[in-house]
Amino acid sequence: MKTLIVYYSLEGNSQYIAEELANKLNADTLKLIPKKAYADKGFAKFFWGGKSAVMAEKPELEIYDVNLAEYERIIIGFPVWASTFTPPIRTFVLDNIDALKGKKIATFACQSGKGAEKAFEKLKETLGIQEFAATGIFFDPKSKPSDENSKKIEEFCEEIQK
């Protein structure tokens, strides 16, 4: 089953997981890049990123070239911002909502605290689906590697391949 991993990563954690999954699942990746970058340091990072997430903003993305019709399985990855998924993911999903219908969709979230479960619920609602094929929650996987995150990657891969 051909797989695409679509992700947004601010600090590299989601990119780290996307690359690990891509290697294990022989998947393609698509990194979403907003035309206007989010602050990645200090108060501005939390304020503007959180505001953008809470207000359900839909930022313009750099042009990407992908034919979703080629993929049966889509994995969506993101950092958790204010207990929801990041605005670049919102843009991608809403811009491609028809092309995503009927796909086997899984998701993963990277976080330092909590909120991933709420983010997954909001993403399901946005996608108009009842369940994900698999979900994974990773705690600071790039900056704080752990056996627990490695085990979760393996479990995620097993679950999505069912």
Instruction: Give the domain range for residue 7.
Output: 3-160
CA distance 152 to 53: 26
Which among 127, 162, 155 has a CA at the least distance from the CA of 21?
155
For position 23, what pLDDT does the model report? Answer: 97
For 113-147, the pLDDT digits (tens) are: 889 999 999 999 999 999 999 999 999 888 888 88
For 28-85, the pLDDT digits (tens) are: 999 999 987 765 665 445 545 555 665 566 788 899 999 999 999 999 999 998 888 9
Asked if pLDDT for residue 98 goes beyond 90, the answer is yes
Helix (H, G, I), strand (E, B) or coil at 4: strand
Q: At what angle do helices 13-25 and 147-160 cross, to 10 degrees?
A: 50
Asked if pLDDT for residue 104 goes beyond 80, the answer is yes
For position 38, what pLDDT does the model report? Answer: 61
Q: How confident is the model at residue 162 (pLDDT cuts 50, 70, 90)?
A: confident
Q: Which element (helix H / strand E) includes 20?
A: helix 13-25
DSSP 100-149: HTTSEEEEEEEESSS-HHHHHHHHHHHHT-S--S-EEEEESTTTS--HHH
CATH code where residue 92 lies:
3.40.50.360
CA distance 44 to 31: 23
Look at the chain and report how many structural domains it folds into. 1
Q: Among all chains, which residue has been given the structure tokens 């670049």?
A: 88
CA distance 35 to 81: 19
